[in-house]
Amino acid sequence: MDAHAHAAHGHGELEIPFNVHPRPDTGLYNAKLGIWLFLASEVMLFGALFSSLILLRTGVENWPHGWKLLNVPLATLNTFVLISSSVTVVLAWASLRLGDLRKGKIYLALTLLCALIFMVVKAFEYGSKFSHHIHPSTDNFYAIYFTMTGLHGLHVLGGMVVFAYFLGPGAKMWQTEPARFTNRIEVCGLYWHFVDLVWIFLFPTLYLL
C-alpha cells in the first residue's frame, strides 16, 4: 500500500509516512534525518565552546599546558574505552539487522558498560581535583575544562539512559516492530559516535596541548 494513502486511513494512532522505511527520493527514514540535524546543532554547540576555548587561550599570556595539570594516562584509557563502545554499538545494530536480538542486547550491554567505565574514571579525575581544592573558579583553564568535560559527561549520561531504556522496557518493540526497533538503535548509535567524537577532540585540546 502506498505510504501516503496508508497514513490517511490508519486507525487510532496517526501513522506518519516514512517513520520506519526510507523515503525513496531522499533515501532516509524520518528519525535518521532528524538525528543528523540534531547532531549538526550539537556540532554548533561544542563548536562554540571550542571557539571560546581558543579565544580565552589566545587572550592571556600564560595559559597552562594541560599535560602538566591533568591526568593523561587516565584520559588515554577513557579514550580507548569510548572508542570500543563505538564499535560495540555498531555491532549491536548489525546483530539486530541480522535478526539476532540476544546478541544485539549483549553488545548494547557492553556499550552501556563502557559508558559506565568512562563515567567512573571521570568521577575519579574530578574527585582528585576537588580534593586538591581545584574548582571551576580556580582559573579559566579549569573553568573551561570542567565546563566542557562536564557537558560532555552529561551527553554520556544521556546516552546511558537511552541504552538502559532499550535494554529494558524499550526492547518490547522488537516483538511488534523489529525494523523500527533496529532503526532506533541505529539512531542512538549515531548519537553515540558523536559523543565519542567530541571526546576525541576534547582529549588533545585539553590534555595534550
Partner 1 sequence: MAPKRQLRVGTQWLYVDEAEKLLREAIRIQEEEEKKRHGGHPQSWIRRYVFSTDHKWIGLQYGFTALLFLLFGFSLMLLMRLQLAWPNKAFGILKVLGETAAPGGVMLPETYNQLGAMHGTIMVFLAIVPLAVGAFGNYVVPLQIGAPDMAFPKLNMASYWCYLPGGLLMLGSFFAPGGAANSGWTSYPPLSVIATQGQTWWLLGMVFLITSSLLGSVNFIVTIIQLRAKGMTFMRFPFFVWAQLVTSFLLLLAFPPLEAAAILQLMDRVAGTSFFMPSGLVVSGNVLANAGGGNPLLWQHLFWFLAHPEVYVLILPAMGIVAEVLANNTRKPLWGYRSMVGAAVFLGFMSFVVWAHHMFLTGMGTVISAFFQTTTMIISIPSVIILTAMFMSLWGGSIRFNTPMLFALAFLPMFGIGGLTGLPLGLAASDIHLHDTYYVIGHFHYVVAPGTIFALFAGIYYWFPKVTGRMLNEFWGKVHFWLSLIFINGVFAPMFYQGLAGISRRLYDGGAQYAHANPAFKSNVLMTVSAWCLLAAQVPFIVNFFWNVFMAVLGKRNAGPNPWQATTLDWAATTSPPLAHGNFDVMPVVYRGPYEYSLPGHEFDYLPQHVEVPEAPPPGGGMLPEAVAVARREA
- Residues in contact with partner 1 by the rule CB under 8 A: 4-5, 7-8, 10-12, 14-18, 23, 26, 28-31, 33-34, 37-38, 40-42, 44-49, 52, 55-56, 59-60, 135-140, 143-144, 146-147, 151
Between CA 54 and CA 204 the distance in angstroms is 13
Q: Which is nearer to partner 1, 48 or 208 (CB)?
A: 48
Query: Minimum distance from CB of 153 to partner 1 (Å)?
Result: 13
Query: Minimum distance from CB of 36 to partner 1 (Å)?
Result: 9
Q: Which is nearer to partner 1, 52 or 84 (CB)?
A: 52
Q: Which is nearer to partner 1, 35 or 91 (CB)?
A: 35
Q: Which is nearer to partner 1, 33 or 77 (CB)?
A: 33
Query: Minimum distance from CB of 100 to partner 1 (Å)?
Result: 29
C-alpha cell at 202: 576534547
Tell me how far apart the terminal alpha carbons of the chain are, to the nearest angstrom. Answer: 58
Residues 92/192, Cβ–Cβ less than 8 Å: no
Between CA 206 and CA 129 the distance in angstroms is 15
Query: Minimum distance from CB of 9 to partner 1 (Å)?
Result: 8
Nearest to 116 by CA among 85, 74, 75: 85
Kindly provide the b/e burial profile for residues 26-41, where b requires at least 16 CB atoms within 10 angstroms of the residue's own CB: eeebbbbeebeeebee
